[in-house]
Structure formats: structure tokens, C-alpha cells
């Protein structure tokens, strides 16, 4: 039996856009154990509730993460609205759904690009990011921000999307879908991608469930958990099926995300067809008094925002639990037994968002 | 322009950013903005890098990491603080774990405003950093000016 050595991975590493540290215990080229340590980008933003009034805290909630910022803001608003018993206008709920799905498309395209880069497929990285820019253009046009939107508020949304803009967005989706189909074919059928991802980092269905995997990481292992099915925002009125793959390897997780982009396109189309006219916000009266858990499906999995108010302008407590945190134990499981050269691909396959995780 | 400012290599590190600026830094590499046309390459190795691009503020745990990366880079080098968090701490300034902007640890040459900073301003910041790099190259730096053969 050969000697065990420990190879440090991160916090600064070419494949990681964000810092996380793993101690990889190796025996020859095989990883015996992976020990994660986190905290490099912890800010402690939950305590800012004491310094910002509850309507202002939406901006902080959005800046938990710059990739799924809209969904963070929305989930926080949902929690406060539930505490205050606010009836959010139907049109605002549909707008939230549309922006959530655009966020998902931009997040998945971003991930697909990074994943291609981790495999060493630079051309595909560029192709994914080029296409992602068209999604960002829509977000910028409708909300004013490319990555931090600031369009959600307690009681509704801040901006409306005019009917003709919405029609144009739906029209443009056809071209987007055609372009994405080309990229999707490469991700799903290219030999070199299959060679790097099939059978790599396998997570069984049981492990995914018991270790608390969420989002595409869980769905890639055959666990059909999709929080959108709980029907928050306007998802209750839209028909879609959670995308599920059963192999549990990096290929399956990649396939889930590729297919979810198509599902997002479909959801936007349905929402645009069903969106009613009307108000986009209600004015909140008084202050939140009570507590609430609000959940939503981020591109990476289940996001939970907890808020507790005591009837003053400042909340007493905010607590955020993000999907990357719950996906770390499954990641450690996937890494044990893999080859050192596969570590970057496996780490990326859970779509780690450290900014979210450490807040 | 010399070989250095014609082909500067950048090292990107996420100090305690929310990711917003990070993905915009990466977006600069994508075909729409394409900083590689300026010869800029994103490297993961501090010893290869001329420009350190940092997003997010300093916190207790990454303090040493940032200092370490900076010290490992060869002279002359420039630091670009991207986004308001890297410049001052931004909205997270009052968080208990945030010390402040990057300049409380290492000297910063260019501050790029914005939350999140737009790719256009990031590119502008890096291009400005290149002329500072050029100036630094012509300045006698301690430990470098004394080496023979460099005239």
C-alpha cells in the first residue's frame, strides 16, 4: 500500500472562479478523502437586518449572490409578504416568474461555459457565454441591471414589462432556442465531453437523498425535487415537469441543466401568454410582525429565506440557507474514489456558488 | 508600448464578492467583449501575472490569501479593485466580518466603480492599469534596478 499524501486544492485555483479550499487525501492518483474548508468570502450580511429597514434589505438579499440575485430578492420579499399578509398582484407574480426563468437561463449558460472550460473545451466555453449575453441583454433591458437586477420589492415588482417588449422577448426566444440547441447537441453528444463526464463522480439516488442534495445535483441522481412545483409566484399556473436524469454522474448533471434551459424557455412562453393586465405592486402597510420560511428553486437548488420581525422597521433575524451548502456533503461523497485529474470537473458539476454559500 | 503592456496577464481573485463582479470579469473574456484582442490573458498562476484583479472586500480569512498572491507576483505589478466592495467594502462595509476595501491590505492602482461593475468599466480600468504598469516599469524599483544588463 502506497503512502498517503495531502494535496491542497484552492482557495485560489485556475478552475475556480471563487475560493473554496479542499484538502485532497491521495493514494497514488486516487482521492481517498476530500476535506472541505470554507469561510473565504463570509461577510455576515444576515446581521445587516439590524442596520437596514426591511424594504431596504431587499438590496442586501439580492447581493447574497450575483448569479441568482433576482431569486434571492424574490424569496426574501415572499417571506416578508407572507408575514405581513400582503396579497401580491397577479401581474407581479408572473413578472417574477419570467425574471426567475431568465436568471435560470443565464445561470445555466454560465455554468455550461465554466464546465466546458474545466474540461478544456474552450470553444464551447466561448459559445455558451456568447449566447448568455443575449439573456443578459433582456435582463438589462427589462430591469436595468445585467447581473444585479434590483427589480423586486416587498409587495410586488418595481418595473413592468410593456406588452410589446414581452412579445418581442417571446419572438427572440425562437432564435435563442435554435442557437442553444446547437450548443446543447455538443454538450449531450460530443465524444470528448462524454469521455470526460460519463461515470465520473457518481452519486447514487440514495446518497443524493440522504446527504441532502438539491437542484440539478439531486435531479441528476433521479431525485425529482423541484421547488417550483410548490407553486410559488406564478409557477402553480404553469405546466412543466422537473427534468430528471438517473445516472448520477457528471454527464447526468450536465444533461439536467441543458434540458432545464429548454424548460425555462417553455415556462417564459407560457407565462407571457397567460400574464394578466393590472397593478404590479401593493403598498405595504405597517411593519412585519412574525416569522416565516420562504422557499424557492434557485438554478442550484432549494433556497430558504427565514425572516423574523417584531413589529419595528428592522427585522430581528434573517437567515438564508443556500443550495450549495447542502450540495457540499454530496460533493465530498462524489470525490472519494475519483482520480485527481477529475477533481475540477466533479467540483464544478455541483455548480458551486460560494458567494451564496458563505454570504 | 512594450511587450509587457501589449500582453498583460491578469490574475483574478474573488476576495469576498457576491459573484456579480466576478462573472462580469469573466464576461470580459467572452466573445462580446473579448479582452484577448488586447493580448490580455487570464491566468491562474500569480507568478505569471502582471495585473491583479480583485473583486469583493477583505475579510478576516482571505486577508493572508490576498497578501500572499500579491507578494508572489513579480515586479512591476498593478492592482485593479473591481466594484464598490473591492474599493470600499460597499454595502457590506458594516458587516462584522468585512474589514474594508482591498487598499487596507495592499496598494491599489485603479478603482473600478459599480455594483456590479460593468464589463466596459472593467476593461477601461484594466487598460488604465496598463499605462501605470508602463510607468512602474520605467521607475527604478528596489531590488530590480540594481540587476545588471537591464538598460
User: In 3-state terms, what secondary structure has residue A239?
Assistant: coil
pLDDT in tens, B45-62: 888 888 899 988 888 878
Tell whether B21 is within 8 A of chain A (Cβ).
yes
The answer to whether A329 and A210 have CB atoms below 8 angstroms apart is: no
The complex's ipTM works out to 0.79
Chain-chain contact of A14 with B118 (C-beta, under 8 angstroms): no
CB contact under 8 A, B44 and A43: no
Helix (H, G, I), strand (E, B) or coil at B64: helix
Grid look-up 441543458 returns A258
Domain limits for position B114 = 3-138
Residue range A41-358, CATH number: 1.10.645.10
Query: What grid cell was written down for A90?
Result: 397577479
How far apart CA A66 and CA A147 sit, in angstroms, is 6
Which of B94, B84, B146 minimizes the C-alpha distance to B118? B84
Q: Does the distance separating the beta carbons of B95 and A45 come in below 8 Å?
A: yes
Task: Classify residue B133 as left (phi > 0), alpha (psi -120 to 50) or beta.
Answer: alpha
Query: CB-side exposure of B95: number of CA atoms within 13 Å?
Result: 30
Is residue B144 included in any domain, yes or no?
no
Kindly write down the DSSP assignment for every residue of B79-122, as one continuous string.
EEEESHHHHH-GGGTTSTTEEE-GGGTS--SEEE--TTPPHHHH
Q: What is the pLDDT of residue A184?
A: 92
Comparing CB atoms, the residue among A19, A110, A147 nearest residue B14 is A19
Task: Indicate the pairing of strand B41-43 with strand B9-14.
Answer: parallel
Per-residue tens of pLDDT for chain A, all 359 residues: 678 888 888 777 766 667 778 888 888 888 888 888 877 778 888 888 888 888 888 888 888 888 888 899 999 999 999 888 888 898 999 999 999 999 999 999 999 998 898 888 888 988 998 899 999 989 888 988 888 888 888 888 888 888 888 888 888 899 999 999 999 999 999 888 898 888 888 888 998 899 888 889 999 898 888 888 888 888 888 888 889 988 889 999 999 999 999 999 999 999 998 888 888 888 888 888 888 889 898 898 888 999 888 888 888 888 888 888 888 889 888 888 888 888 888 888 888 888 778 77
Task: Return mean pLDDT, chain B.
Answer: 81
Q: Are A294 and A308 in contact (CB under 8 A)?
A: no
Q: Quote the CA–CA distance of A269 and A259 in Å, as a whole number.
A: 16
B73 touches chain A (CB under 8 A): no
| pLDDT given at position B145 | 44
Q: Is B124 helix (H, G, I), strand (E, B) or coil?
A: helix
Q: Per the omega criterion (within 30 degrees of 0), is the bond before A11 cis?
A: yes
Beta carbons within 8 Å of A69's beta carbon, 6+ residues apart: A62, A63, A103, A147, A148, A149, B18, B20
- Of the residues A106, A143, A147, A353, the best mutation for testing chain B's interface (the one with the most B CB atoms within 10 Å of its CB) is A147
Residues B61 and B5: their CA atoms lie apart, in Å, by 33
- Does B150 fall in a domain? no
DSSP A339: B
Ramachandran class of A85: left when φ > 0, alpha when ψ lies in -120 to 50, beta otherwise = left
Q: Which of B9, B30, B83 is most worth mutating to test chain A (most A CB atoms within 10 A of its CB)? A: B30
CA distance A73 to A89: 17
Instruction: Report the domain count for chain B.
Output: 1
In chain A, the residue whose alpha carbon lies closest to the alpha carbon of B25 is: A17
User: Residue A196: which residues within 8 A CB-CB, separation 6 or more?
Assistant: A119, A250, A342, A345
Taking the Cβ of residue B72 and every Cβ of chain A, the question of whether any pair is shorter than 8 Å is answered with no
pLDDT in the model for residue B148: 40
Burial class (CB within 10 angstroms; exposed 0-12, middle 13-18, buried 19+) of A212:
middle
Q: Is B18 on the interface with A (CB under 8 A)?
A: yes
In angstroms, the separation between the Cα of residue A254 and the nearest Cα of chain B is 20
Kindly state the average pLDDT of the residues B100-117: 88
- In chain B, residues with a C-beta closer than 8 Å to the C-beta of A355 are 14, 17-19, 22
Task: Please work out, in degrees rounded to the nearest 5, the angle formed at the alpha carbon of residue B63 by the alpha carbons of B62 and B67.
Answer: 110
What is the least distance, in Å, from the CA of B85 to any CA of chain A?
Answer: 11
- Contact (CB, 8 A) for A8 and A21: yes
Residue B151 resides in a domain: no
Structural domain includes residue B148: no
Inter-chain CB proximity A11 and B118 less than 8 Å: no
Distance CA A288, CA A58 (A): 14
Domain boundaries, chain A: 41-358
Helix (H, G, I), strand (E, B) or coil at A222: coil
Cβ–Cβ under 8 Å, residues A248 and A203: yes
CB A145 within 8 A of CB A63: no
Query: Any chain A CB within 8 A of the CB of B36?
Result: no
Query: How many residues comprise chain A?
Result: 359
Are the beta carbons of A307 and A84 closer than 8 angstroms? no
CATH number at residue B129: 3.40.50.12280
Task: Judge: B62–A67 Cβ closer than 8 Å, yes or no.
Answer: no
Query: Rg of chain B over CA atoms, in angstroms?
Result: 15
Residues of A in contact with B32 (CB under 8 A): 129-130, 133
Amino acid at each position: 500500500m502506497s503512502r498517503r499524501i495531502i494535496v491542497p486544492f484552492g482557495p485560489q485555483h485556475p478552475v475556480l472562479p471563487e475560493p473554496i479550499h479542499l484538502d485532497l487525501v491521495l493514494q497514488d492518483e486516487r482521492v481517498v478523502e476530500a476535506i472541505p474548508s470554507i469561510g473565504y468570502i463570509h461577510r455576515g450580511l444576515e446581521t445587516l437586518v439590524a442596520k437596514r429597514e426591511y424594504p431596504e434589505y431587499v438590496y442586501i438579499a439580492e447581493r447574497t449572490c450575483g448569479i441568482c440575485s433576482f431569486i434571492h430578492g424574490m424569496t426574501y420579499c415572499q417571506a416578508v409578504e407572507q408575514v405581513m399578509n400582503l396579497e401580491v398582484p397577479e401581474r407581479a407574480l408572473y413578472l417574477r416568474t419570467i425574471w426567475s426563468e431568465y436568471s435560470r437561463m443565464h445561470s445555466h449558460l454560465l455554468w455550461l461555459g465554466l464546465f466546458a472550460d474545466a474540461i478544456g473545451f474552450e470553444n464551447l466555453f466561448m459559445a455558451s457565454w456568447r449566447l448568455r449575453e443575449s439573456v443578459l441583454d433582456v435582463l438589462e433591458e427589462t430591469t436595468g441591471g445585467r447581473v444585479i437586477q434590483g427589480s423586486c420589492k416587498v409587495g410586488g415588482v418595481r418595473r413592468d414589462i410593456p406588452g410589446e417588449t414581452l412579445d418581442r422577448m417571446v419572438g427572440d426566444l425562437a432564435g435563442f432556442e435554435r442557437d442553444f440547441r446547437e450548443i446543447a447537441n455538443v454538450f449531450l453528444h460530443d465524444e470528448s465531453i462524454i469521455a470526460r463526464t460519463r461515470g465520473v463522480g457518481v452519486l447514487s439516488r440514495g446518497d443524493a437523498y440522504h446527504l441532502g442534495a438539491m437542484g440539478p445535483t439531486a435531479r441528476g441522481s433521479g431525485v425529482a425535487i423541484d421547488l417550483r412545483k410548490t407553486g410559488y409566484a406564478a409557477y402553480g399556473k404553469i405546466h412543466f415537469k422537473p427534468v430528471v436524469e438517473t445516472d448520477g454522474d457528471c454527464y447526468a448533471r450536465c444533461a439536467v441543466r441543458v434540458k432545464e434551459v429548454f424548460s425555462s424557455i417553455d415556462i417564459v412562453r407560457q407565462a407571457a401568454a397567460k400574464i394578466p393586465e393590472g397593478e404590479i405592486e401593493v403598498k405595504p402597510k405597517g411593519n412585519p410582525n412574525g416569522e416565516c420560511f420562504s422557499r424557492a428553486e434557485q438554478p442550484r437548488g432549494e433556497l430558504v429565506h427565514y425572516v423574523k420581525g417584531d413589529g419595528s422597521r428592522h427585522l430581528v433575524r434573517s437567515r438564508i440557507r443556500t443550495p450549495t451548502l447542502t450540495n457540499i456533503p454530496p460533493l465530498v461523497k462524489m470525490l472519494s474514489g475519483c482520480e485527481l485529474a477529475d477533481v475540477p470537473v466533479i467540483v464544478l458539476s455541483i455548480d458551486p456558488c460560494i458567494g451564496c454559500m458563505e454570504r | 508600448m512594450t511587450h509587457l503592456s501589449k500582453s498583460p496577464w491578469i490574475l483574478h481573485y474573488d476576495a469576498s464578492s457576491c459573484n456579480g463582479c466576478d462573472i462580469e470579469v469573466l464576461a470580459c473574456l467572452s466573445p462580446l467583449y473579448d479582452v484577448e484582442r488586447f493580448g490580455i490573458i487570464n491566468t491562474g498562476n500569480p507568478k505569471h501575472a502582471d495585473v491583479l484583479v480583485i473583486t469583493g472586500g477583505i475579510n478576516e480569512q482571505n486577508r493572508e490569501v490576498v497578501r500572499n498572491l500579491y507578494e508572489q507576483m513579480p515586479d512591476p505589478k498593478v492592482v485593479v479593485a473591481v466594484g464598490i466592495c473591492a474599493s470600499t467594502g460597499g454595502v457590506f462595509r458594516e458587516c462584522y466580518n468585512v474589514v474594508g476595501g482591498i487598499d487596507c491590505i495592499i496598494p491599489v492602482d485603479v478603482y473600478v466603480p459599480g455594483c456590479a461593475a460593468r464589463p466596459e468599466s472593467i476593461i477601461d480600468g484594466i487598460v488604465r492599469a496598463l499605462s501605470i504598469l508602463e510607468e512602474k516599469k520605467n521607475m527604478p524599483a528596489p531590488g530590480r534596478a540594481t540587476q545588471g544588463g537591464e538598460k
